[in-house]
Structure 1
Amino acid sequence: MTNRRTFLKQLTGAGIGVGGLGAWSDLQRIAAAASVNSALPKAAGEDYRALVCIFMFGGNDSNNMVIPTSTTEYQQYATGRTPTLALAQGTLLPLTVSNTPGRTFGLHPAMTGFQTVFNAGKAAVVANAGPLLATTSRADYQGRKVPIPVDLFSHSDQQAQWQSSISDGAPRSGWGGRLGDLIKDANGSNSSSTLISVSGNNLFEVGTTISSFKVSPGNHFGFDFYKGATSTDPMSKSITNMLATPSVNLFEGAWKEVIQRAIHNQEILASALAAVPPFTTVFPNTGLGSQMQMIARLISVRAALGLKRQVYFASIGGFDTHGEDQLNTQNRLLGEVSAAMTSLYNATVELNCSDLVTSFTSSDFNRTFPSNGKGSDHAWGSHHLVMGGGVQGGKIYGQFPTLVKGGPDDTGSSGLWIPTTSVDQYGATLASWFGVAAGDVNTIFPNLGRFQSANVGFLG
């Protein structure tokens, strides 16, 4: 039988109240300090880490994001992509890569921000990553000699596998949520602020003992229309009267408690954020740019909130580029990703905590190397971006695939690259930097032991 405590947990876990905001204990005390603390330099040896997941919904065609530029490899690229999708060699942004002797690489021409940070040694590329259940070769895949992730090439399933690291069944939690389960106590009475989404509901932040709360990047909250208990506004008066009316029903009373807490927390959170002084960093006027700005504002009050560990989720959609406008669409979207990631990094530099914040990308999958005649179709292994002061940057990690249809990295003859770095390894590297003990990393990534290395090495 459901009791009051269980029901309250279910309500808050479901995201009831202020779009899912959890309890922000003592925020009245914190709000007054926020404007001061946000401007203070980082304390020596500050014990704080934040991970920022940027999910590119639809399946980013990373074949056009990071491209080999040496003569032979670029020719393979141009031949395989055909004029429909190939980017001109002269338009690619040169990357200064320190760990690929004899090979050169370029970046999509819209990604000038990422290029600058990469060449400064504070960003990296992780090549050909994706869901795996075991290290898999072309022969392994074609002969089914090793387990293969379920429902490959499906948007919903691959999104779930990237966000959960569970590739052999239906996941019930995300790896960010399981990370939150382990480290939430580090945040003391404000443990409910461990997982924050500025992009609504997501599997990534679903935990067993903790759930994410949702913050609007536009600084709007679920109860903005409520003007307070003393307001004469008709709607506010109705809500005040409703909350003050004694409840005889268990569930009604519990629901009212959640609403009261949500209203209170909203007022305090809004006050804390209002006290944050403007950044000198300019954020792009895009959806993702607004998400990064809100994350930066929340990070700026970390000391005032007494926070030690946080996981953020942001997203951008539109990457399902089957159609004829793929080049223009991707030019816009990758430009937005680059500018938004760079603005967040610049804001953390301004806040003197760039080495404490790491942003990283995820996406459903890569797309087929050859064109489908207009755009490209669903594929598998894809390249991803990592940025932050703690990143061992200026490098490409993992194994860059051979860009040949029917080659050693293709599932068949359609340019669907078999990943050589698993989501488990990618996430475990981030979790280790976050401070998760080696013995606990396998709890978050239960399939990690199937791979030779648990750390890809892109974080110090």
Structure 2
Amino acid sequence: MSKYFSPDATQLLQSRRRVLRLGAVAPLALGGGLMGGLTRAAFAQSAATDYRALVGVFLFGGNDGNNLLIPLDAAGFGDYQRGRGRLALDRGSLTAINPTNTGGRQFALHPSMGALSALFESGQCAAVANVGPLLQPLTRTQWQNNTAQTPPNLFSHSDQQSQWQTGTADSSIKLGWGGRVADQIASMNGVQNVATAIAVNGRSSFQQGATVTPFQVSSSGSFGFDAYEAGATDPMAVGFGEMINVARGHLFEAAWNETIKRGITTQQVFQQALNSGPALTTVFPGTGLGDQLRTVARLIQARASFGVKRQVFFCSIGGFDTHGIDQLADQAELLAIVSDAMAAFYRATVELGVASQVTSFTMSDFGRDFPANGSGGSDHGWGSHHVVVGGGVAGRKLYGTFPTLRVDGPDDTSGGRWIPTTSTEQYAAALGGNFFGLTTAQLADVFPRLNRFPAGPLPMF
């Protein structure tokens, strides 16, 4: 059972906004470690008049998009089957999805993604083809002749993770695009809302803004100070209470004490809000990602308590660095986890009455190369395919341009690494800009390199 800093829950609820409006939220002990909080925060009503939430799901390791989205027309599947070798999935295992904007050309999501395939067919899911970091639109000829700028350190996990989370391949931009979007929301309010950016599985650069720093909770929705209750008589509580309540003459020690106290108060306000609503009836899968997205749904349920109109969440799952012979089995298991958790989350937003106001989407380091490697897996690539889910998405469509699946074909750098035909800016700007309702000026501020791509944000909303 969760413990609260104040034994009087009613008093805690009444003082919630005053406490967090006045104080700085500082480091919180979450998930067993001391994590960064906010230096300036408040629960304050957003200038926006409706609610919107973005939920990023990062697939760490570099998901092999070539088996996430597969063409089913005769020519496309023929290229796929010949080029993938031992990584090609059997045609009989694939169930068609029918995008309304591909002239009748059918595709399939991975057979483990049946839950999202069903949402695609019913119009609440879209696929996005061949997305990746770019500095400008790029052709194979330009790549081969080295006549155009390309992102630094291609095919590197850390660099490509950073470029996806910053939403740009420009190394001068260090803040995450989710954080920069949240900065715009904070600027509307004149004060930052601590609940605007929430990370549910560890800290991410995706949500780091100039003024916004993500608040962190565990995947179960618990907090690092749950075990502490003021006035408790057990030795740990007594010792901890003495440590944080003793008068400190040293400036830094006093600041540390106040930081911890505010952190405790803030996490208890979150816990109180989470526990105040009815239990969700939506059943989530008992996986790590399922737990994360269930916690996000509970936080969205508590949005009125937080007084927030715009939220950016970050979840993640690892294991996609599939170089070896086990790739087919490993990826099937991982994509089933992703599909089932994201579909359950969509059902929860329906239950909460916010399905059209919440969008979840995938990101990953990079795609992987097309042919199987010598070990039967695949190696680091570039462009890849992703899914976007929500009632507000213009679903049952394939956005972007699907590549020609041929080594040394028009979309290949070499060895089956696809040159992206849609930039991360165009993908992110549709989500963080069009869906969140940023003005043209705000969109340009968040994505200053977007003007390099004349097609602009993907028309997903």
Give TM-score, length-normalised by structure 1.
Answer: 0.90
1:244 positional shift: 2.2
| 1:88-120 Cα shifts (integer Å, max 9, x gaps) | 111112102111114111111000110111101
Contact 1:190 1:306 in 2 (8 A): no
Query: Structure 1 residues 265 and 76 mapped into 2: Cα distance closer, same or farther (>3 Å)?
Result: same
Matched, 1:289 2:293: no
1:86-165 superposed matches below 5 A? 86-165=88-167
Identify the match of residue 53 of structure 1 among 50, 56, 68.
56
| CA–CA separation in structure 2 for the residues paired with 1:56 and 1:182 | 26
- Could you say which residue in structure 1 is the equivalent of 2:83? 80
Identify the match of residue 69 of structure 1 among 72, 81, 94.
72
1:72 positional shift: 1.5
Among all aligned residue pairs of Structure 1 and Structure 2, give the percentage whose two residues are the same amino acid: 48
- Could you say which residue in structure 1 is the equivalent of 2:331? 330
1:68 positional shift: 0.3
| CA–CA separation in structure 2 for the residues paired with 1:193 and 1:341 | 21
SS in 2 for 1:54: strand
Contact 1:186 1:309 in 2 (8 A): no
Partner amino acid, structure 1, of 2:67: N
Contact 1:282 1:343 in 2 (8 A): yes
Partner amino acid, structure 2, of 1:108: H
| CA–CA separation in structure 2 for the residues paired with 1:259 and 1:305 | 21
1:216-231 superposed matches below 5 A? 216-226=218-228, 228-231=229-232
SS in 1 for 2:126: strand
1:149 positional shift: 0.2
| CA–CA separation in structure 1 for the residues paired with 2:429 and 2:82 | 36
| CA–CA separation in structure 1 for the residues paired with 2:192 and 2:180 | 17
| CA–CA separation in structure 2 for the residues paired with 1:175 and 1:24 | 19
| CA–CA separation in structure 1 for the residues paired with 2:146 and 2:364 | 25
- Could you say which residue in structure 2 is the equivalent of 1:442? 444
1:165 positional shift: 2.1
| CA–CA separation in structure 2 for the residues paired with 1:46 and 1:300 | 17
Contact 1:186 1:308 in 2 (8 A): no
- Could you say which residue in structure 2 is the equivalent of 1:192? 194
Query: Structure 1 residues 241 and 337 mapped into 2: Cα distance closer, same or farther (>3 Å)?
Result: same
| CA–CA separation in structure 2 for the residues paired with 1:185 and 1:251 | 30
Matched, 1:307 2:311: no
| CA–CA separation in structure 2 for the residues paired with 1:67 and 1:198 | 31
- Could you say which residue in structure 2 is the equivalent of 1:372? 373
- Could you say which residue in structure 2 is the equivalent of 1:347? 348
- Could you say which residue in structure 1 is the equivalent of 2:362? 361
SS in 1 for 2:207: coil
Partner amino acid, structure 2, of 1:246: A
- Could you say which residue in structure 1 is the equivalent of 2:3? none
1:224 positional shift: 2.2
1:190 positional shift: 6.6
Contact 1:184 1:309 in 2 (8 A): no
Partner amino acid, structure 2, of 1:354: A
| CA–CA separation in structure 2 for the residues paired with 1:141 and 1:25 | 48
1:220 positional shift: 2.4
Matched, 1:425 2:439: no
| CA–CA separation in structure 1 for the residues paired with 2:170 and 2:249 | 46
| CA–CA separation in structure 1 for the residues paired with 2:188 and 2:278 | 27
Instruction: Output the aligned Cα RMSD.
Output: 2.0
| CA–CA separation in structure 1 for the residues paired with 2:338 and 2:134 | 26
Partner amino acid, structure 1, of 2:103: P
| 1:323-377 Cα shifts (integer Å, max 9, x gaps) | 1100000000000110111111100001110000000100000000001021000
Pick which of 363-372 and 91-100 moved more.
91-100
| CA–CA separation in structure 2 for the residues paired with 1:445 and 1:190 | 21
| CA–CA separation in structure 2 for the residues paired with 1:416 and 1:153 | 9
Pick which of 179-188 and 153-162 moved more.
179-188
| CA–CA separation in structure 2 for the residues paired with 1:172 and 1:190 | 20
1:231-242 superposed matches below 5 A? 231-242=232-243
SS in 2 for 1:136: coil
- Could you say which residue in structure 2 is the equivalent of 1:37? none
| CA–CA separation in structure 2 for the residues paired with 1:213 and 1:344 | 21
Matched, 1:405 2:403: no
Contact 1:160 1:171 in 2 (8 A): no
1:21 positional shift: 5.0
- Could you say which residue in structure 1 is the equivalent of 2:9? none
Contact 1:24 1:265 in 2 (8 A): no
Pick which of 216-225 and 370-379 moved more.
216-225
Query: Structure 1 residues 445 and 26 mapped into 2: Cα distance closer, same or farther (>3 Å)?
Result: closer
Structure 2 residue runs of 5 or longer lacking an equivalent are 1-22
Contact 2:177 2:207 in 1 (8 A): yes
Query: Structure 1 residues 342 and 187 mapped into 2: Cα distance closer, same or farther (>3 Å)?
Result: farther
| CA–CA separation in structure 2 for the residues paired with 1:269 and 1:102 | 48
Pick which of 165-174 and 205-214 moved more.
165-174
Pick which of 217-226 and 279-288 moved more.
217-226
Contact 1:128 1:382 in 2 (8 A): yes
- Could you say which residue in structure 1 is the equivalent of 2:20? none
| 1:278-301 Cα shifts (integer Å, max 9, x gaps) | 222110110000000000000001
1:141 positional shift: 0.9
1:185 positional shift: 4.8
Partner amino acid, structure 2, of 1:53: G
Partner amino acid, structure 1, of 2:390: G
Pick which of 245-254 and 314-323 moved more.
245-254
1:243 positional shift: 2.1
| CA–CA separation in structure 2 for the residues paired with 1:304 and 1:230 | 26
Partner amino acid, structure 1, of 2:458: V
Query: Structure 1 residues 168 and 25 mapped into 2: Cα distance closer, same or farther (>3 Å)?
Result: closer
SS in 1 for 2:102: coil
1:383 positional shift: 0.5
SS in 2 for 1:397: strand
Aligned residues: 430
Query: Structure 1 residues 24 and 148 mapped into 2: Cα distance closer, same or farther (>3 Å)?
Result: closer
Contact 1:190 1:307 in 2 (8 A): no
